[in-house]
Amino acid sequence: MRNIALNIFLIGLYIFIKDRLKFGHQVFFAFHSDQYGPYCDMDFLIFIIMSIFMIILAEMFNQSIKIKQDHDLTI
């Protein structure tokens, strides 16, 4: 699960670098507009938040396995 989180984080980092090279060094959350109207470019942030969530889930599963093994030994 940590490998999945690392891959998702790398995807988010790639999107962040690609967008900064494409749109230039603007404000962190740059507002852009095109023929459809204004929008905010924050795609990379979704991937970074997902990777943090996956790391938290991985730690929760590791703790639950340790607790289960401990309970198995006490019974």
Cα separation, 18 vs 37, in Å, equals 22
18: amino acid identity, one letter: K
pLDDT at 32: 65
pTM: 0.67
Residues 6+ positions from 72 with CB-CB distance below 8 Å: none
* Average pLDDT estimate for 25-53: 75
Residues 6+ positions from 29 with CB-CB distance below 8 Å: 40, 41, 42
Report pLDDT digits (tens) over 29-38.
666 677 777 7
Domain, as residue range, for 60: 2-74
Instruction: Count how many domains the chain has.
Output: 1
Cα separation, 6 vs 13, in Å, equals 10
